[in-house]
A = this chain, B = another copy of it.
Amino acid sequence: MNWKARVLALDGLMPAIGDDGGLVWGTLADAPEDAELCFLGLDEGKACFAVVPPKGDASPRMANPRLWSLMATLRPDDLAIYGGARSLTDWHARHRFCAACGGATKLAKGGWQRDCTACGASHFPRTDPVTIMLVEYQGKLMLGRGLGWPEGSFSALAGFVEPGESIEEAVNREVLEEAGITVRDVSYIASQPWPFPSQLMIGCHSHADSDELTIDETEMAEINFYTREEVEAALAGNGPFRCPPRHAIAHHLMQWWVKR
């Protein structure tokens, strides 16, 4: 039997960062005795765990500016491990009770399930599908600035897939709701998990039927159309707007559009 194990060191919900710029790992001895542990997988022959934050821990669900800058410097493999651990531990922290009966739940199956101690119902981690879409009209790309985003920051529109919708229907509805235009020829490009809190980003391309926008002002501050040259310049850091960072799928989609 091999007892080698390591536990991801967290600073609240944020990753602890070592002198080498990577994630920090402790041992099982570092975890509180009554801690709920999630099994993340094996790495270099060691079982890797993350600790569910204690009850009442403040846990902001979205990525904050400090995390955004950390994400830009973490290695891709460290970022994937941290993202998976954060999604999972955040889900546990928010599901200490059974939605069916209100009873207390406890961690099961190494952290990939919670079971109700009262009615026995099993609950599973949640992943929400979200569409994020390039919308093209006469060779220009439509990009938006959400309410509350910094001046000059633009990205692709995005929205949750609702119950009863296909991916293509969700793209159509979202663009119609936020920009007031219809799209056609929706095609899939790429996907990416996004752990704040736990989304599956589904990147698509589509063609708009018009550029006469009716902007939903409860969601979006501005929506503009940009030429290929403008998007290319923005990706290089000297365009007419600021792009999403390299580790966001929107950046990848914009690169795909420019290169195509």
Which residues in A have some Cβ–Cβ distance to B below 8 Å?
80, 83-84, 87-88, 91, 94-105, 112, 123-129, 160-168, 188, 190-193, 195, 198, 200, 202
Contacts and interface: CB of A to CB of B under 8 A. Distances in A.
Copies in the complex: 2
A88 B126 CA distance: 16
A167 B195 contact: no
Nearest to A201: B166
B129 A162 contact: no
Given A127-B128, A127-B163, 8 more contacts: A91-B163, A94-B99, A96-B99, A97-B97, A99-B105, A102-B103, A125-B162, A166-B200
B94 A163 contact: no
Contacts of A96: 99-100, 102
* Closest CB pairs A-B (n = 5): A84-B164, A97-B102, A188-B188, A167-B191, A87-B163
B200 A129 contact: yes
A193 B164 contact: yes
A193 B99 contact: no
